[in-house]
């Protein structure tokens, strides 16, 4: 029998951490809405083929990291990322005809990886996707939105935006040939997975996690040497757009995406504060994805960011609202307290009602809850249709008519 502990790579999000978690999501939801992104959600699990089509049969995610299972004869998988599900929704919902589409997404993802700081097996992501826009302006807007989210969280100044171009389809065709020519020289030294990919999709070798592969790839040809004039112009417009918006970036010619449907912009906001997990927000353009999944040729660009990683970086989280404590005195107060509590809650106050104990114990409990004020109500106050309001920060108190109680408590919201 397993011990009563969370499964390795998962954890409970208790109230204090959840407050940070919600802050990240709420800020992202607010900022992305300013950029015209509309929130959506897809199922937590999809047919396994959704991810095999997008991530490829030989990718590490598909072969080693997915949580897949069979039910009712169907092969199903807990989603390892959001973009494939969004693309599937666009296809199955016939949404491409309504492009441009701009989606914001939040939810849990699942990958079987070695847990470490900032990396879990069940983790949460915020995600934005712009679908149906081929112009570089969409790349600029997407990156700007990500920068604005990080800035609103107080993180941007502690990150570096790295950007690269993966070129257009012709650029990638040329690059693929040069990459294969280079890798053939080291074929015997490549990992077994990469030797298989060399035949079917050599670009995936660029994403290999094998240390030997990484050393070989470090000296591989760069995309720049294979770019068409059109691809260079596209990237120039993206860079000029970011510069006009005052968004600083550095060029990282080794920043790649190994899947065929990625093209043009690839970018990451990185930090030095999370150890090996340096990327806090990353994305790119994927003009071939929806077509590869069986839908109409539809351009797209998006990014994703891990909520847990962002939570670790956030320094200033708004304090939880301080409640009002209701402290009944005697049987009459006990009888009246639930009604008064519900009345104040309906008026928009956060209110805590102690369940047991004398006045002293309930006041101690109110202080433990960090209550801002206490409302004492007993037989004497009720005879005068009033209550005693005590400021728990200053100790000052005054009797207040019940009809004026809401107005008096407004200062403590």
Give the rounded percent of residues in the chain with a pLDDT score beyond 70: 97
**pLDDT score at 208:** 82
Q: What Rg, from alpha-carbon coordinates, does the chain have?
A: 28
Residue 313: the pLDDT is 94
Question: In terms of domains, do 62 and 138 share one?
Answer: yes
Q: Could you tell me the pLDDT band of residue 57, with boundaries at 50, 70 and 90? A: low
Does the pLDDT at position 292 exceed 60?
Answer: yes
pLDDT value of position 399: 94
The number of domains in the chain is: 2
Q: Which of 286, 313, 340 is the last residue of a domain?
A: 313
Is 58:193 a contact under the CB 8 Å cutoff?
yes
Residue 382 has pLDDT above 60, yes or no: yes
91 is a domain residue: yes
* Torsion sign (Cα): 17, 20, 24, 25: positive
**The residue to which tokens 């995600």 are assigned:** 127
Claim to verify: residue 233 and residue 342 sit in the same structural domain: no
Residue 190 maps to a domain: no
Per DSSP bridges, beta strands 279-285 and 263-270 are: antiparallel
* DSSP alpha helix (H) spans, 247-358: 289-292, 307-313, 330-346
Q: Give the list of residues 6+ apart from residue 130 with CB closer than 8 angstroms, or none.
A: 100, 101, 102, 138, 141, 142, 300, 301, 302
Same domain, 119 and 74: yes
Residue 58, pLDDT > 60, answer no
Tell me which H or E stretch contains 401.
strand 397-401
Q: Which residue has the tokens 């807990």?
A: 78
Query: What pLDDT, in 10s, does the model give residues 171-226?
Result: 999 999 999 999 999 988 999 888 988 887 888 888 788 899 889 988 999 889 99
* Structure token digits, residue 203: 């670009």
184 in any annotated domain: no
Residue 358 has a CB neighbour count (10 Å cut-off) of 10
Distance CA 163, CA 147 (A): 13
- Is 100 within the bounds of a domain? yes
List Cβ neighbours of 378 (8 Å cut-off, separation of 6 or more).
328, 329, 330, 332, 333
Is residue 2 very low, low, confident or very high in pLDDT (cuts 50, 70, 90)?
low
Residues 307 and 328 in one domain: no
The residue-averaged pLDDT of 314-322 equals: 89
Q: Which of 273, 288, 313 is the last residue of a domain?
A: 313
Give the burial string for 49-87 (b: 16+ CB within 10 Å, else e): ebbbbbbbebbbbbeeebeeeeeeeeebbbbbbbbbbbb
Token representation of residue 1? 């029998």
pLDDT digits (tens, 9 = 90+) for 76-128: 999 999 999 999 999 999 998 898 999 999 999 999 988 777 678 999 999 99
Q: Is there a domain that residue 213 lies in?
A: no
Which residues, 6+ apart, have CB-to-CB distance to 186 below 8 Å? 216
User: Which residue segment(s) compose the domain that 97 sits in?
Assistant: 15-168+228-313
């Amino acid at each position: 029998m397993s011990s009563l502990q969370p499964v390795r790579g998962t954890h409970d999000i208790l109230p204090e951490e959840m407050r940070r978690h919600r802050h990240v999501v709420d800020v992202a939801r607010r900022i992305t809405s300013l950029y015209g992104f509309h929130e959506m959600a897809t199922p937590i699990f999809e047919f396994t083929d959704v991810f095999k089509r997008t991530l490829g049969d030989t990718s590490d995610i598909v072969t080693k990291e997915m949580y897949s299972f069979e039910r009712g004869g169907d092969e199903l998988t807990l989603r390892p990322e959001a973009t494939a599900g969004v693309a599937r929704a666009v296809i199955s919902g016939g949404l491409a005809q309504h492009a441009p589409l701009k989606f914001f997404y939040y939810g849990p993802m699942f990958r079987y990886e070695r847990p470490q700081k900032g990396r879990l097996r069940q983790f949460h992501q915020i995600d934005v996707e712009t679908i149906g826009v081929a112009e570089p302006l969409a790349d600029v807007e997407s990156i700007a939105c990500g920068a604005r989210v990080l800035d609103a969280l107080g993180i941007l100044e502690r990150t570096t935006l790295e950007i690269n171009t993966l070129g257009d389809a012709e650029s990638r065709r040329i690059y693929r040939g040069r990459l294969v020519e280079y890798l053939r020289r080291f074929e015997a030294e490549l990992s077994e997975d990469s030797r298989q990919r060399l035949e079917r999709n050599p670009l995936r070798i660029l994403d290999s996690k094998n240390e030997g592969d990484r050393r070989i790839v470090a000296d591989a040809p760069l995309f720049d040497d294979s770019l068409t004039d059109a691809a260079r112009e596209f990237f120039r417009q993206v860079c000029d757009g970011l510069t006009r918006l005052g968004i600083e970036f550095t060029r990282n010619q080794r920043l790649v995406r190994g899947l065929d449907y990625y093209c043009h912009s690839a970018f990451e906001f990185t930090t030095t504060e999370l150890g090996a997990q340096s990327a806090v927000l990353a994305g790119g353009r994927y003009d071939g994805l929806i077509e590869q999944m069986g839908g109409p040729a539809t351009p797209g660009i998006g990014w994703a960011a891990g909520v847990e990683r962002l939570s670790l970086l956030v320094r200033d989280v708004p304090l939880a609202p301080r409640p009002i404590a209701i402290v009944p005195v005697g049987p009459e107060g006990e009888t009246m307290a639930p009604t008064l509590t519900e009345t104040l809650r309906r008026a928009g106050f956060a209110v805590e009602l102690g369940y047991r104990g004398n006045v002293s114990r309930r006041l101690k409990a109110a202080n433990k809850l960090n209550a801002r004020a206490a409302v004492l109500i007993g037989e004497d106050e009720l005879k005068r249709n009033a209550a005693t309001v005590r400021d728990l920060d200053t100790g000052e108190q005054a009797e207040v008519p019940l009809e004026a109680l809401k107005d008096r408590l407004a200062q403590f919201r």
